[in-house]
Amino acid sequence: MQTPSGHPVESTSAQRVVVLVSGLGSNLAALLAAHEDGSYGARVVGVVTDNPAAGALDLARDAGVASVVVSTKDFEDRAAWNVGLAEAVAVFQPDLVVLAGFMRILAPTFVRRFEGRIINTHPALLPSFPGAHGVRDALAHGVKVTGCTVHVVDDGVDTGPIIAQAAVPVLEDDDEPTLHERVKVAERALLVETVGRIARDGLFLAGRQAVIGR
């Protein structure tokens, strides 16, 4: 991991990961399974959700990981919610913030606070099909190959530097659920691998180039 000044943080213990999630949390479950291995290099120390009914809350409880709900309903406006969300995340002192099915757009104030330390997993091969419906949009476009992307979060919607990608075939009889499930199998493996590599070897950014290790 690198600090905002660009220097890797020396640490003998696991890197602290906070996962932001809105729904089911199968990507979170994969990270929670991975961190059981002491050599993984990363540990999920907190789960933060905007959704009080998120299945991810059960996963966190079962894993003995602290969780917090930061609902938009409890804040006057989106700016205040972003501040509340950032405060909730900061409490865990994260080295890395992972958006794993987090379906809200983060304000620049949030992104600045954890600059270069927020990554997102997206269910398409960016820069194609950004946004909330990456699988549906790929299917509607008729692509024969889609996939998943792990990228650094910047102020845009799914526009930040790409860290890792995996391709997934689109089959003739696919609908959105079947294709999404195939993408998610690849996505979970890619996210687990990428978070572990970042934790162990560091993430370095130079313009649009995101590189793990040196």
Binding-site residues, please? 25-27, 78, 103-106, 120
Measure the CA angle with vertex 167, ends 170 and 149; round to 5°.
115
24 lies in the binding site for ligand GAR (CB under 6 A): yes
Q: How far is the CB of 4 from ligand GAR (least distance, A)?
A: 25
Crossing angle, helix 26-34 and helix 56-63, to 10 degrees?
20
Which one is catalytic: 7, 35, 122, 151?
Answer: 122
Q: How far is the CB of 139 from ligand GAR (least distance, A)?
A: 14
Identify the residue among 26, 51, 67, 194 touching ligand GAR (CB under 6 A): 26
> How far out from the chain centre does Cα 118 lie?
7
Q: Going residue by residue from 101 to 120, which x/- string records binding to ligand GAR, judged by CB under 6 A? A: x-x-----------------
CA-based radius of gyration for the chain: 16
Residues sharing a CB contact under 8 Å with residue 150, sequence separation 6 or more, in sequence order? 119, 120, 121, 122, 162, 163, 164, 165, 190, 191, 194
122 lies in the binding site for ligand GAR (CB under 6 A): yes
Q: How far is the CB of 102 from ligand GAR (least distance, A)?
A: 7
194 lies in the binding site for ligand GAR (CB under 6 A): no
Asked if residues 191 and 30 have their Cβ atoms less than 8 Å apart, the reply is: yes
Whether residue 108 is preceded by a cis peptide bond, meaning omega within 30 degrees of 0, is no
Q: How far is the CB of 94 from ligand GAR (least distance, A)?
A: 18
122 included as an active-site residue: yes
50 lies in the binding site for ligand GAR (CB under 6 A): no
Measured in degrees and rounded to the nearest 5, phi and psi for residue 61 equal -60, -45
Asked if residues 4 and 83 have their Cβ atoms less than 8 Å apart, the reply is: no
84 lies in the binding site for ligand GAR (CB under 6 A): no
Q: How far apart are CA 91 and CA 47, in angstroms?
A: 11
184 lies in the binding site for ligand GAR (CB under 6 A): yes
Identify the residue among 41, 46, 116, 123 touching ligand GAR (CB under 6 A): 123
- DSSP label at 100? S
Binding site for ligand GAR (CB under 6 A): 21, 23-27, 100-101, 103, 121-123, 132, 134, 184, 187
Which residues are annotated as catalytic? 122
